[in-house]
Structures are given as C-alpha cells and as structure tokens.
Chains A and B, each alone.
Chain A
Amino acid sequence: MNAITVIAGNISVLRRSDVDTDQIIPKQFLKRVERTGFGQYLFYDWAKEPGWDLDPNPILVTGRNFGCGSSREHAPWALEDFGFKAIVSPSFADIFYSNCTKIGLLPVILPEEEVEALMGETSARVDLEEQVVSFGGREVRFETDPEIRRRLLAGLDDVGITMQRGEEITAYERERERSGPVTTAL
C-alpha cells in the first residue's frame, strides 16, 4: 500500500446519499478473481444515465452513508482504480470505511454543511498528517483513528505487522482459545 500524506487536486461531486456498493460496482463484475481493472465498471448503470458526469479526479465528494450495503472490497478497488485517492462525505458505512483504509483510499468525514460547501468548489487539498481539508481559502479539520492514520501515513501492510506478533497470538491460543470441535473434524 502506498503511503498517503497529501492529496490535492480537482474534485468530482456525486450529490447522492446512501450510495450502495451495488451501484459502485454491480454484481456481474464480482465474478473476476483478479484485484485490478475494476475502474472501468465503476457506477456501471448510473454512468449510462443522461447527464452523468464524474471525472477521475483525485477527490470525490459525496452524500451521507456512502458505501452502504455489501462488504465487497471491489467497491473501493473500483473507486481507486478509476482515479480517486480520497473520498469526502458526511458519513460512511462501517465496512466500506474499513475497506478503504486497508487499500490506501482515504475516507474523510466532514460535517454536512462543510461537504455542501466543498461541493461548490473545483479543487481541494486533503492533508492527512495535519488532518485538514483546505478549499476556497478555508481549512476544515477532520478526525481519523490514530492507529489507522499511522498506518496510512506509513503505507504499512497490516498482515505483515500482525504476523510479527505471532507469539502473542500463540500465547492466546495456548491459554485462552475456546475448546470444542473444529471445522476439520466435520
């Protein structure tokens, strides 16, 4: 995963709330076993609507509860592959938010009125180190969980980090793992 510090550039606006992952990447594209190449299918059905206009800018600004529905990581993969590096919204669905942070696509939560103001701009600058979004001559703070922020700033591989804690996990298994039948005994 690439390290994130500053994401700056033009913004794309998707003025809709409760955008579900079925819209972001429809089911027929989940059959692929690869991890790349999903950007071309982003918002596959909506992109056919007249008046649809969404450029692959670094920053996507959108409505509440973005990424609700299915846990498909294909949704963040598609958004990232399309060109977005940060997504700004008043709120995100839990699993989607978590999935974004795992692949280095930065979810930024701002108050609704700030998102509304940002939608009227053409560009912005998101600084993860300072946790500030700058646009139209203003600076708006945002919060990120300190541990998630640390990992994003350093571009760390979660699996690699946890594997270094193998002894702790082994100790847990030795002392506290629940007893009883396991799947291989079926």
Chain B
Amino acid sequence: MPKTLLDKIWEAHEVAPGLLYIDLHLVHEVTSPQAFDALRLAGRTLRRPDRTLATADHNVPTDGSNRAAQIRDQLSRVQVETLERNCREFGVPLYSIGSERQGIVHVIGPELGVTQPGMTIVCGDSHTATHGALGALAFGIGTSEVEHVLATQTLQQQKPKAMRISYGGELGFGVTAKDLILGTIGRIGVEGGVGYAIEYAGPAIESLSMEGRMTVCNMTIEGGGRAGMIAPDETTFRWLDGRPAAPAPVPREGWTELRTDEGASFDSEVEIDASALSPQVTWGTTPGMVAPVSGAVPEPASEGEERALVYMDLEPGTPIEGIELDRVFIGSCTNSRIGDLRAAARVVEGRRVSERVSAMVVPGSQQVKAQAEAEGLDEVFRRAGFDWRSAGCSMCLGMNPDTLEPGERCASTSNRNFEGRQGRGGRSHLVSPEMAAAAAVAGRFVDIREWEVAA
C-alpha cells in the first residue's frame, strides 16, 4: 500500500503501538527545569544523553553578555544557571550563553546537522515543527513529556492524522516563504491543522531554499498543526553536506526514499495557488488575521476580531500601507537565518531607518551572527541605523529585556501576534524579513514588490 512520509517515519519509530522512539531531544532553559527536578526526585537517570542536545535561548540577553553570571535579571540568570547545572549533572551536551554554537534551538539543530531526514525530533517548544523542513517528524511537547523522553527516549503518542497542502504555481516576485505560510494560515484558519501532521508539497515548496522551508514548517503550529514536514531532496542534501553532525557523505539514496508514495492517501488535502499570493501583513491578534499588503484592515467578522481591532487600535478600512510603526524586529526561529538576514540587508543597503522607528536585528545563532559579520551584513544594518544584537529568541516573546512598550506598534518577522506577546500592550504585525526591512526605512508598511534596491 502506498505510504505517506508520515507513515514511513512513524512506522520506523514504533517501539510498540502508541510508543514512539525519539531520535533527537532538544532542550532549552524554560521548559526543562521541572523535568530534570522530577528525574532527580524519582532517582531516575537520563536514558540517552547522546540523543539529547541543549542550548540557552529564550532568556538570554542579546547585549553580548557571554556568561550566565552576567545576566542582570535574577530569574533569567537562575534559569540559565539551572540548565547549565542540570546538563552537567545528567551529561547533556550544552551550548549555553557564551558558546560559539549557542543560538535558538530550532536554528542550531539544522545548522549543526543534528537534525536529519527521517528522524523523530521533539523539544519542549511548539516551534519544533521547524525541523520537519528537513524531512523529519518533529513536534513540540510539554514539560511532563520532556521528563518522559529524558527518562525513556520514547513518547506515548497517538499517530496524528495526515494533511497535505499542495502549492501549485510559483511564488511571485517579492513574495517569500513567510508570505506563503501566513497566506496558508489565513486560508485554513488557526484551528485548521489541529490533530494533523501537515506535509507541504508542490513546485513552490520544491523551489524554496532550506531556510524558506524552515520558515514554512516553523509556523505550522500557528495553523494548529503540531508537525509540519517537507520531503527531503537535493536542496536538503546539499544543505546538510559537511555539517558537523551530518553523516559524511550524506546517504542520498536512503534519504531519497523518504517521500510520500504516488497514490498514498491523506485524511485531508488542501490546494493553494502559490502564484496568487501577495506579501502578507497580520492586522490582528492571531496569525490567521492577515491581509495582503495591498489590502486594508477588514470589517470584523467575529467578537474575537472586534476585540483584536480594539487591542491593535485599528479601524476597518485602513489601508495596510497606511499603518505607521514604532519598532521593527528582525529575528526569531521563524526568520533569523543567514538567508533571512541577507534578504533584509539587500533591502536596507544604502538607506536609513525612519526617524520614528527603532529597529533591531537579532541573528538566530552565534554562527549566523559570525557568518553575517564575515559578509559585512552587520555593517549594512548598522549604517542604516539598526541595532545589531547577539543571538537568542529576544523580542519574539520578550523573556529577555528586548520588549515592546505598551502601545508600541511593531513589524516583526516572528511567529505570534498574540496580545502582549512582545511586551505588555505591544502591537505586533507579522511580516517577512524583506517587508520588515522596508517598513523600518519607510516608517510604515510598504509593498516590497515596488521597492527599488540600491544598485
């Protein structure tokens, strides 16, 4: 019987029905301390430290601090120090603050090559779906499940239903992976993927860079899906080739089999015309409240949308391009990889950030930061008036000092525009790195398709 990519990975990891083996467990400081405590309390050991990898990302300041002791916020400091102590005690490899391999957990996994096709990957973080871009089954778990994986390297898990979203056509000029996924969430809704693992397929997906594919899979959870995945291909193999933890040479033949068979059936199929998508901007307080940049803030169609417009201080009918901004954030596990920074730098090259805007770039990892600096991107951003920061989750969720002030309006390349997400009372609009960069210069949203790049 023809199988889906999900079927193949699931079957290869079933210890027994309902018990799934986990190839890679990624750990960070926020959702792990209580799990390590529970292990200690029960006198349990960590089954496979060699299939576990930790980093500090959510809490770390991006001011260049390079030791936990330098973190001024006491609670944040204790949390990072607790991670360091737990990893020492249980033998978990850790890239903490100060390590040249530290970064956002969903950026460093693929970057180091520990994320590989065909794997099962979990992490106490909902954006774990990111790793599915390399043909893995990857999903977020809670702290009780973190404890379960630490102790047993397995999860009690029922197989999700399978959805395939097929994209016909190609993305137009100026339309990015971020616009593709925002447009998709706008279409299926924030609950559309609940209960499903989503496979993204079609020419528009195959044409995407590895970074773009990670952006797409990353936001699967914003459409309700726990896992998003893309069949590995030559783009995947070339991207992994030579990375520290990747097999050398990469096993092209075995990995090529990791694709949905012709005629395999899905529980749900969605078709989207990629060529019809425009650059997207969210106007509300869920990622599904989204409009094309050339459009306007819509009339509210529900109590939730009415509430969102009040929170966002927006009137129906306001052109998206008329929305003025106070802040711009380029970063997060959605859009902080080198490809994202190159794209944003190309937009701001030779320009200045608007006087009304305060803008920052937060690379996803120290390695991305080093690469960007080697290419001179940091100088492009600095000359334009951007603040160039150190790696971490930063203002995607504002657990570190990078936050919005009440009432501030931000163009953000992150993944959530929930009330208060980036700071209490802050107003977030989700966009692509290119759109964020152009908005920083213009002081309002502009259609990137009409942007003239400096010669």
Q: Which residues of A contact B (CB under 8 A)?
A: 16-18, 20, 22-23, 26-28, 30-35, 45, 64-65, 68-73, 76, 91-95, 98-99, 102-103, 145, 147, 158-160, 162-163, 165-166, 168-169, 172-173, 176-178, 180-186
Contacts and interface: CB of A to CB of B under 8 A. Distances in A.
Contacts of B221: 69, 95
A186 B148 contact: no
B50 A23 contact: no
B34 A33 contact: yes
A159 B152 contact: yes
Contact of A181 (B30, B151, B247, B398): B247
Contact of A33 (B12, B79, B113, B195): B79
B420 interface: yes
B420 A45 contact: yes
Given A70-B416, A94-B226, 15 more contacts: A27-B397, A33-B34, A65-B191, A70-B397, A71-B124, A73-B34, A73-B124, A73-B144, A95-B139, A99-B144, A145-B158, A162-B148, A169-B47, A178-B119, A182-B51
Contacts of A102: 142, 144-145
B434 to A, nearest CB: 26
Give the contact-size bracket for chain B.
35 or more
Nearest to B82: A33
B304 A165 contact: no
A93 B224 contact: yes
Interface in B137-165: 139-145, 147-148, 151-154, 156, 158, 160
B176 interface: no
Nearest to B92: A183
A147 B324 CA distance: 52
Nearest to B112: A186
Contact of B33 (A33, A69, A159, A176): A33
Of all A-B residue pairs in the complex, the 7 with the closest CB atoms, nearest first, are A102-B144, A99-B142, A73-B142, A31-B75, A182-B50, A33-B33, A71-B140
Residue with the highest number of chain B CB atoms closer than 10 Å, among A26, A34, A45, A183 = A183
17 contacts: A18-B304, A20-B416, A27-B397, A30-B58, A30-B399, A31-B59, A45-B419, A65-B191, A68-B224, A70-B125, A76-B142, A93-B224, A94-B226, A169-B154, A186-B53, A186-B93, A186-B244
Contact of B194 (A35, A91, A185): A91
B-side interface mostly: loop
Residue with the highest number of chain B CB atoms closer than 10 Å, among A22, A68, A145 = A68
A34 B82 CA distance: 11
A147 to B, nearest CB: 6
B126 interface: yes
B15 interface: yes
A170 B418 CA distance: 43
A56 B156 CA distance: 31
B416 A181 contact: no
Nearest to B144: A102
B378 interface: no
Interface stretch (B17-25, B273-281, B341-349, B353-361): B17-25
Contacts of B375: none
B272 interface: no
Contacts of B449: none
Contacts of A35: 34, 37, 143
Contacts of A147: 18, 156, 158
A95 B126 contact: yes
Given A34-B34, A73-B31, A162-B148, A169 B15 contact: yes
A181 B37 contact: no
B30 A30 contact: yes
Given A95-B142, A145-B158, A163-B152, A18 B286 contact: yes
B191 A91 contact: yes
B49 interface: yes
B330 interface: no
B236 interface: no
B62 interface: no
B246 interface: yes
Contacts of B151: 159, 162-163
A99 B303 CA distance: 28
B44 interface: yes
A95 B75 contact: no
B145 A98 contact: yes
B421 interface: yes
A22 B245 CA distance: 34
B362 interface: no
B140 A27 contact: no
Contacts of A166: 152
A183 B53 contact: yes
Contacts of A183: 24, 49-53, 93, 114, 245
Contacts of B24: 183
A22 to B, nearest CB: 4
A68 B160 CA distance: 17
Contacts of A162: 19, 148, 151-152, 154, 156
Contact of A184 (B49, B101, B112, B148): B49
B50 A65 contact: no
B76 A159 contact: no
Contacts of A159: 38, 42, 44, 147-148, 151-152
B16 A165 contact: yes
Nearest to A157: B42
A22 B114 CA distance: 30
Nearest to A183: B53
B264 interface: no
Contacts of B153: 169, 173
Contacts of A76: 142
